Amino acid sequence: MNKHLIRLPLFSLSIMLFGCSNADSVNIANRTGLPCNDKPNCVSTIDERAEYSLDAFNLSEAGLDSWPQIEQVALALPGARLGERAERYIRVECVSSVFKFVDDFEVHQNGDMLEVRSESRTGYSDFGVNRERAEAFRQQLLEAKLIAP
């Protein structure tokens, strides 16, 4: 009985402390120019390692001056909410529907290319979710004729 009386307050304290942590209040600098770390929960157009690499996003003639439309495509991704916006840069926080995990989806226009990076904030593997998100973004940009095939 005494063991349970000790465990209950410890468990309650743990829950309260965990509940006070806020993954939403993260200030993340533009990381589109950085390769992914070594966890399989990130993809990037900058990273040259096959398991982390995304094919280039080459802007079409129409896409060169269409940054507002590119932003709108990013913000239309499932679970998307604006995290940060700067000149020709956007960070979208994509929240999973079930467990509410937050992934950072970043896009930066660098000349005639888009640098794209999608990474999970927590966990080890993302089971391919970030790659699927980046490829869905690519498909939407292709359909809008904002990037070249």
**Interval 10-31 mean pLDDT:** 51
Average the pLDDT over 129-139 and give the result.
98
**pLDDT tens digits for 33-81?**
999 999 999 999 999 999 999 999 999 999 999 999 999 999 999 999 9
Q: Write down the mean pLDDT value for the chain.
A: 88
> Is the CB of residue 117 less than 8 Å from the CB of residue 43?
yes
| Residue (of 58, 25, 48, 30) closest to 145 by Cα position | 58
Token reading at 121: 């904030």
CB 126 within 8 A of CB 41: yes
pLDDT at residue 14, as a whole number? 40
Where are the chain's structural domains? 23-143
Cα 135 from Cα 90, distance rounded (Å): 17
CATH architecture of 23-143: 2-Layer Sandwich (3.30)
The Cα–Cα gap between 107 and 87 comes to: 11
Tokens at 21, concatenated: 């942590």
pLDDT at site 1? 54
Confidence (pTM)? 0.81
DSSP letter assigned to residue 125: -
Cα 149 to Cα 143: distance, rounded to the nearest angstrom:
10
CA 43 and chain centroid, separation: 9
Residue 98 is predicted with a pLDDT of 87
Which residues sit opposite 105 in a β-bridge? 92, 118
pLDDT of 95-125, one tens digit each? Answer: 998 889 999 999 999 999 999 999 999 999 9
Amino acid at position 108, single letter: H
Tell me if residue 16 falls in helix, strand or coil. helix
pLDDT at 7: 54
What's the pLDDT at 3? 55
Residue 15 vs residue 38, higher pLDDT? 38
Q: What is the CA radius of gyration of the chain?
A: 19
- Say how many Å lie between the first and final Cα of the chain, rounded: 67
